[in-house]
Amino acid sequence: MALIVQKFGGSSVASPEHIKRVARRVADTVDQGHSVVVVVSAMGDTTDDLIDLAVKVSPKRSAREMDMLLTTGEQVSIALLAMALQDIGKDSVSLTGWQAGIRTEAVHSKARITDMDPTRIFSELKEGKVVVVAGFQGISDGGDITTLGRGGSDTTAVALAAALKADLCEIYTDVEGVYSTDPRVVKHARKLQEISYDEMLELANLGAAVLHPRAVEYAKQYKVPLMVRSSFKPTPGTLVKEVATMEKGIVVSGIAHDLNVAKVALIGVPNRKDNLQLVFNTLAKESINVDIIVQSVVHNDRSDISFTVTKDDLTRTLEVLTSLQSTLGAKEIVCEEDLAKVSIVGAGMISNPGVAAQMFQVLSENGMYIKMVSTSEIKVSCVIDAADVHDAVRALHTAFGLDAVEAATVAK
């Protein structure tokens, strides 16, 4: 008998029918003799509906009051799921974030969990109940209701699993697991049986939307085994754990791509030691996230500084740079929009130094021009023309031996 934390997102509890299906799914696990703690998000569009209401009431919406408002969404879900479980004979109890002992910073809309007090959950489990916990929410030391921000319910599930020393944390979602690449791009994408936290973290940060990076970080920190699996099918899913069992000959685990990439370059910037920090500090103050940065020395006294931002941030980035241009003494500001980033991720790279070179070769053989490169221990990213990116993903998927025998079934 194991203790399992199961998390179901908003699309899994979108209607009364969905909630009843989730209840049956949870009951199956109980019938296998396990203790279960369920974490749920707000039903489908509830959060958007509540935001609409707030917009109609006031243009000023304090973060504290938005948290007060939005946390009702999960509270509705937990009550309904507890009823659905009771209806099929499973004793159960719903708990809000504060009742479940989820303590956070006194920050609204994006609080981090500071502490967990699982006393109440343990006492309910001891009475043989399924405990249904509201995701995404907690309580500050001052007694205010807080929310964890994006990816919040995943984080709640992982944090609970850590505090309860659960045997497994299952994240139910609308895909069957973590794929070697986007099955919508590569028909023969392979569902991974296992993946390491670090690889998952790179993939999550590269836009594989299956798990939120914060939840993966938390899982890595507390060594919580995560299972990503389908809400709709009983198939096994992908296990995320400390060190994944390496499949023979597989160096690269996954290939990610991102079409939301714009490149900006400052041309002919005089080499002064504070120029780089001036550019990137100013951008940081404007909350503009910079991804890949490349500085190339052109002449002895001048460099070109290029970097990527998301397309949404491009206009503001150019405004910032224009305001700095004379201070920097930059000759020119240029930008390029129709770009994409393709990345290979794999823990096996560390011991295989030729992987980056192999990636460059595949792209070059396919006539693709690499505009920027960025590497980490387990990742290589290249910026290329947006028009080439799907072909690049397919070519790399085949070249690194990831193609599955059977075509993936794309959920949804």
Q: Which residue's CB is nearer to a second copy, number 35 or number 96? A: 96
Min CB(152)–a second copy separation in Å = 18
Of 1-9, 88-96, 294-302, 337-345, the window that binds a second copy (rule: CB under 8 A) is 88-96
Q: Is 181 annotated as a binding residue?
A: no
The reply on whether position 120 binds a second copy by CB under 8 A is: yes
Q: Is 7 annotated as a binding residue?
A: yes
The reply on whether position 65 binds a second copy by CB under 8 A is: yes
The residue within the footprint of a second copy, chosen from 29, 86, 310, 374 (CB under 8 A), is: 86
Residue type for 245, please?
T
The reply on whether position 145 binds a second copy by CB under 8 A is: yes
Min CB(82)–a second copy separation in Å = 5
Q: Is 337 annotated as a binding residue?
A: no
The reply on whether position 412 binds a second copy by CB under 8 A is: no
Q: Which residue's CB is nearer to a second copy, number 131 or number 283? A: 131
Of 75-83, 106-114, 198-206, 234-242, the window that binds a second copy (rule: CB under 8 A) is 75-83
The residue within the footprint of a second copy, chosen from 68, 106, 250, 293 (CB under 8 A), is: 68
Closest CA to 224 of 208, 247, 237, 242: 242
Q: Where are the beta strands (DSSP E) in 185-301?
A: 194-196, 226-230, 238-241, 254-270, 293-297
The reply on whether position 66 binds a second copy by CB under 8 A is: yes
Closest CA to 360 of 406, 399, 404: 399
Min CB(128)–a second copy separation in Å = 15
The residue within the footprint of a second copy, chosen from 11, 14, 34, 61 (CB under 8 A), is: 61
Q: Is 33 annotated as a binding residue?
A: no
Q: Which residue's CB is nearer to a second copy, number 46 or number 173? A: 46
Q: Which of residues 182-241 bind a second copy (CB under 8 A)?
A: none
The reply on whether position 58 binds a second copy by CB under 8 A is: yes
Cα(29)–Cα(131) distance, integer angstroms = 13
From residue 37 to residue 56, the character string flagging contacts with a second copy as x (rule: CB under 8 A) and all else as - is: -------------x--xx-x
Q: Which residue's CB is nearer to a second copy, number 59 or number 367? A: 59
Cα(24)–Cα(62) distance, integer angstroms = 39
- Positions in the binding site for a second copy (CB under 8 A): 16, 19-20, 50, 53-54, 56-62, 64-66, 68-69, 71-72, 75-76, 78-80, 82-84, 86-87, 93-94, 96, 99, 120, 143-145
